[in-house]
Amino acid sequence: MTRLEKPALTAFVWLALLTMPWWMNAIGGYTELASRVLVLGLAAMALNFLLGYTGVLSFGHAAYFGLGAYGVGMMIKFVVPSTPLGMLVGVATGTVAAAVLGLLIVKLRGVYFAMVTIAFGQVFYFIAFRWNSVTGGDDGLTGWKRQALDLGFTQVDLLGNDRAFYYFLLFVFALAVGAMALILRSPFGRTLVAIRENERRARFLGIPVERHIWLSFVISCFFVSLAGTLYALLNNFVDPRALRWDQSGNFVIMAVLGGMRSFWGPLVGAAIFVVLQDYVSSHTENWMSFVGLFFVLVVLFFPRGVMGILARRRATDATKEGA
Amino acid sequence: MTQLILFNVFNGLIIGAFYALMALGLSLILNLSGVINFAHGGFLALGAYIAYSLSPHIGFWGALVVAPVATAVVGLVVERVLIRRVYGRDPLYSLLLTFGLAYIFEDVLRYIWGAQSVPFPIPPALASPLSPEYFFLTGYRLFMVALVAAAVVALFVILNRTKLGIRIRAGTQDLETVNVLGVNVRILRNLNFGLGTYLAGLAGVLAAGMLGLQPTIGTSLIMPSFVAIIVGGLGSLPGTLLGGLLIGVASGLTTMFFPSATEAVMYVMMGLVLLVRPRGLLGEEGRVQ
């Protein structure tokens, strides 16, 4: 079985994540910022499952992210005040929606796929925006809070204790990322990469390409809805902006900035994006221009992303040593 | 009742005409260069604000002529400096680039003209209703429909009768061959982008007169334009026109019976079209893959 990343890199990433609440505070951030990195990192990695490993360009992942967020919020607010049950409902909502819409779009490719996913993403935005009585409309869904986690022998206070909540997020993140890595290392995952590399050839080998792309889309949306539920829990709040198109664009830029061909790349991209956005928006009102400029610069100068550049540098060093 | 239905159909047609005008520009660029111009809404808003600033000096009619041209000039420069660099690369990059541009446009417009909505005065001669019975038929609305129709006819004449238009259509089919035949493809794509942004600017001036002006005016019109292109069919300009009018009328009628679904109905239409005919109503076969 091939490894996705070098073991040393993976160990380093986990070490950095385990100690993030400390070093994030040391570099002038705060624990909640660390939590944001984790949640949006998971979303970007989920998107990259489709974008980087299947080669399909979805620009509407915020829809499923937002469905997860609204799912957990509405469950806790209206039905049962339970964090795990809320998450279950949120993830189920996002995944079912993706499974249905996925059927409509699996035949499309490239730009066309991107355009349809963007447009479909907006449906949920308008529903959240217009359906005031239930979703709170433009003001967002308020009046609910994440609930303490009941483990049977003890209770974990997720609300009052920032650190405890961070490690709860890290636990969920670890489960999700582990599952993603397992899927990617399985024969199914290798088939997705084959489709990315040469779709026609994969089809000639008898692989049902549409079914694989549909499955990949649904799996990717499953994980992005999970990230959405965590995002809602983190903020104790959801608003329609969580599922608008600009959020989808942010996920894509995180994946590209970190490196689409790398398993951890999108997490690195999310960390850079989140910290930079936090810094810039606390210093200027015109942060949109900065984010926009950032998009342009990444496309023009860093299309391979951070991990891509590192990998290439290593490769050239190796050739030099060989010569 | 008939009056109310007529009112909503007419309203839908006007909105649809905007969508179509904007979507035609998007389609032109997408067909020739393979770029989804996310910043198209930004160009629309730019055209509207330029007209807003010019009209006290040169009047509404002067602004109507100058603002779209100014928008097209900005379009030519943006294509020359930025968009050109992502041709032939993964569509991912052109999307991200124009996405970033859309952010910058919105923010710069807000910085210059303020976040508040500003009124855009239209000539008094056009503002009053033509008859008390059909109160919704103001001169401005009729004028808008006529102007959009004229612009669409002009566009199709350009595409079918002029050298530039014929080259654009040929390039849409097979850009490499057009290049080999001695056409300067760089200039062709540049002019084509200018033409697309001209249409966005024109739609902007007209929209400002009807909807008022705020920096987000472009972003609210761009999603329906995507839907218009998908419903009408990728690669077909008549399809785009049809798609725009159809979703406009559909959302106009929905406003009447079920107002909260005004926006949702066009996405439902898009879902239906994709289910029954994935290439869109008038789309070419094989284009979607």
Interface predicted TM-score of the whole assembly (ipTM), two decimals: 0.87
Asked if B87 reaches chain A (Cβ–Cβ under 8 Å), the answer is: no
Question: Is A10 domain-assigned?
Answer: no
Round to whole Å and give the CA distance between A137 and A126: 9
Question: Is A22 domain-assigned?
Answer: no
Question: Is A136 domain-assigned?
Answer: yes
Say if CB B76 and CB B95 are below 8 A apart.
no
Q: Where are the domains of chain B?
A: 13-221
The pair phi, psi for residue A238, each rounded to 5°, is -135, 140
Chain B contact set for A298 (CB, 8 A): 96
Over residues A293-323, the pLDDT tens digits come to 999 999 999 888 888 888 877 777 766 655 4
For A293, the closest of B104, B226, B274 (CB atoms) is B104
In DSSP terms, which residues pair with A150 in a beta bridge?
Answer: A155
Round to whole Å and give the CA distance between A145 and A157: 12
Asked if A115 reaches chain B (Cβ–Cβ under 8 Å), the answer is: yes
Round to whole Å and give the CA distance between B6 and A147: 53
Over residues B119-168, the pLDDT tens digits come to 888 877 777 766 666 666 777 888 888 899 999 999 999 999 999 999 99
Question: 3-class SS at B233?
Answer: coil
Tell me how crowded residue B82 is: count the other CB atoms within 10 A of its CB: 18
How many inter-chain contacts (A to B, CB under 8 Å) are there?
123
Say if CB B13 and CB B248 are below 8 A apart.
yes
Over residues A216-266, the pLDDT tens digits come to 999 999 999 999 999 999 999 888 888 888 899 999 999 999 999 899 999
pTM score of the predicted model: 0.90
Question: Is A170 domain-assigned?
Answer: yes
Question: Is A15 domain-assigned?
Answer: no
Round to whole Å and give the CA distance between A306 and A269: 8
* Closest A-chain CA to B98: A296
CATH number of the CATH domain containing A33: 1.10.3470
Question: Is A1 domain-assigned?
Answer: no
For B97, the closest of A51, A120, A299 (CB atoms) is A299
Q: Number of structural domains, chain A?
A: 1
| Domain of residue A39, residue span | 29-322
| Residues lower than pLDDT 50 in chain A | 1, 323
Question: Is A37 domain-assigned?
Answer: yes
Round to whole Å and give the CA distance between A311 and A319: 13
